[in-house]
Amino acid sequence: MSHAADIALIDRFLEMMAAEAGASRNTLLAYQGDLIAASEVLGGRLGAAKPEELGRLSSEWADLANSTLARKSASLRRFFGFLADEGMRKDDPSSALARPAARRALPKILSRDDIDLLFAEIEIRLQRAGDLKRPLRLSALVELLYGSGLRATELVSLDVRAIVSDRPYAILRGKGGKERLVPVSDRARFSVARWVDVRPTGTSWLFPSGKSHLSRVRLFQMIKELARDAGIPPERVSPHVLRHAFATHLLEGGADLRALQTMLGHADIATTEIYTHVDSRRLVELVERAHPLVDAAARRS
């Protein structure tokens, strides 16, 4: 099999990922890069590679970080699975690929007391400010980060019509161009409405800045400054950490994991499980309280 043949197979695989799996452009580029690099290592024999040949890839990748190795191995497993499913190969050699014991680091955690400190600092700023524009903007930003679980990019690029005062949800276009509904609380809508009353006009952005919208970098800076003034180490707080707090605190309050997956815009429920780091003690208590076999055992005793 030639390198050109490998490229043809990779292109067919990417077409499938785009059409059937709805993979985003960045995801497709990552798959493409991993597969072409592997093909080059194997001299254009990736599509026909035998298990022992895949061992060369493991040697080639020996010095890579575990997370990178895990991604490359996952790309190849999906590729070979596609070839087998489509009848282009009679076997799937991907079992020969390395399986690094990579784990995602748990996200930084903010307690409810920490969140209270952030909002208390915002209230102080609102009471002290002569010009309310900046504290009102900050209030709306934090309410949407923590109250709706928005990603930083989703938040700063919101259209001014996205949050409506009489509608308890917003429709967002997130990763991969996929739309989803996110909840918008009464207090978040109130904060946004107060901000809209004073925001600069002449632009469609909810959070305008110059000729465009507020940048992610500036949002990060604002959240760090807020944390510092609230007495929380700034390195513990970011827009992503506030999104994580939204998920964690909802789950701790009894939210359904599938509903949370939808609100966060995760394609894979496993991502939600890692993101929310449910503690085992609470899950055990849930089983003991709700499982029918527990009730049966209690009746027999």
d(CA 259, CA 277): 16
- Catalytic residue, chosen from 175, 194, 216, 249, is 175
User: Which single residue is written with the structure tokens 């076999």?
Assistant: 293
Establish whether 266 is a catalytic residue: yes
Q: Is 291 a catalytic residue?
A: no
Q: Which of 72, 180, 224, 266 is catalytic?
A: 266
Q: Specify whether 243 is catalytic.
A: yes
Q: Which residues contact 215 (CB under 8 A, 6 or more apart)?
A: 156, 209
Buried b (16+ CB within 10 A) or exposed e, 260-278: bbebbbbbeeeebebbbeb
Confirm whether 151 is a catalytic residue: yes
Ramachandran class of 22: left when φ > 0, alpha when ψ lies in -120 to 50, beta otherwise: left
| Beta partners for residue 182, in sequence order | 170
CA distance 198 to 130: 13
- Find the catalytic residue in 72, 78, 243, 244: 243
Active-site residue, from 194, 240, 249, 277: 240
Calpha distance 150→182 (Å, rounded): 8
Selected catalytic residue, list 72, 78, 137, 151: 151
- Cβ 72 vs Cβ 61: under 8 Å: yes
Does residue 275 have an active-site annotation? Answer: yes
User: Which residues participate in catalysis according to the annotation?
Assistant: 151, 175, 240, 243, 266, 275
